[in-house]
Amino acid sequence: MDILQIIIFTIIKILIIVTIILLSVSYLVYFERKISAWAQNRIGPNRVGWAGALQPFADVLKLLLKEDIVPEVANKPIHTLAPVIALFVAFTTYAVIPFGPNINIFGFSVPLVVADVNIGILYILALTSLGVYAITLAGWSSGSKYSLLGGIRSSAQMISYEISMGFSVGGVLLLAQSLRPVDIVQAQSGWMWNAILQPIGFITFLVSAFAETNRLPFDLPEAEPELVGGFHTEYSSMKFAAFFLAEYANMFIASALIVTLYLGGWQFPYLDHFGLSAGWFAAISVAAFAVKVAALLFFFIWVRWSIPRFRYDQLMSLGWKVMFPLSLINIVWVAVLIMVFKI
């Protein structure tokens, strides 16, 4: 494969993925509304299209037509930049997440990942940390006390939880002996899923992911009762939509990352023993990945409509006094796995 072909394939993959993310994110909003309705014995959106299937488009249209209001005292360039950063971070993270095995198209072996980078995990951690900037800058540039408090909360929260997140990932890296997402997926063949091997790490990572994506029960940066809307109090129209989109895209990324790191990625256990053709193998793998991600997304939404928000001090003490030690214990446990059980 020469460089031109690589570029063409990469661009095609990027286009496919961006389309998929955008579509699934909008339907994620739809399902969030549906699931919340079901949990509350309601029906949910059902007016636009069949069973409300066109609701996401109606929502987007509505947001597009809204007036874009920027506060008088806002720092306008940064106020505009913040939602762009949020979206940028959300989309670029997806570049390194593998969503299927290598496939053969027109005689080329194409890996089903946009960029098969050998430091992919570092890349993801780096980019998700960048996401804090979006929220902090949004909060600061709005020139509103609520926004500022939301931004400050979010930076404190994200920094705290990034530590336990990083340590949890450490366990995965130790087992896979690689920073490459594709390698990590391959290391979990069969039932050797990291979620089973290191359950503590899985839980700490899962909880940290909730905190990193600002989802309930950790959505303190936008806690409505106290902060009106937190960092996006002063946002409206498409800028608000960008934050909204980024939040759900982040959820999507977080789910995909959890699947990659802990739930065997695109692998269907023992699929290679069934003797399927390469095409079927690839299709089932991609489907397995999609199902796993969908299940996690459902879990994200389900948790949101079940568990109330933490108090801020509870959030911090959970992060530092519970999650951080637990992730350290997980590292020790992984070490034991490697040294004693020789995995």
Instruction: List contacts with other proteins (CB under 8 A).
Output: 35, 37-43, 203, 302-303, 305-307
CB of 302 to other proteins, least distance (A): 6
Cβ proximity to other proteins: between 37 and 119 the closer is 37
CA-CA distance, 261 to 207, in Å (whole number)? 14
List the beta bridge partners of residue 12: none
Which tokens is 243 given?
């934050």
Which tokens is 331 given?
């590292």
Cβ proximity to other proteins: between 40 and 109 the closer is 40
Residues 6+ apart with CB under 8 A from 135: 82, 86, 150, 151, 154, 155, 158, 214, 221, 231
CB of 226 to other proteins, least distance (A): 22
CA-CA distance, 23 to 3, in Å (whole number)? 30
CB of 305 to other proteins, least distance (A): 6
CA-CA distance, 58 to 136, in Å (whole number)? 30
Cβ proximity to other proteins: between 38 and 108 the closer is 38
CB of 214 to other proteins, least distance (A): 18
Question: Please, what's the b/e burial string for 55-82 (b: 16 or more CB within 10 A of its CB; e: otherwise)?
Answer: bbeebbeebeeeeeebbeebbeeebebb
Angle, CA of 202, 203 and 208, to the nearest 5°:
100
CB of 57 to other proteins, least distance (A): 22
Cβ proximity to other proteins: between 43 and 64 the closer is 43
Cβ proximity to other proteins: between 7 and 307 the closer is 307
Q: Do 329 and 239 form a contact (C-beta atoms < 8 A)?
A: no
CB of 115 to other proteins, least distance (A): 36
Cβ proximity to other proteins: between 40 and 277 the closer is 40
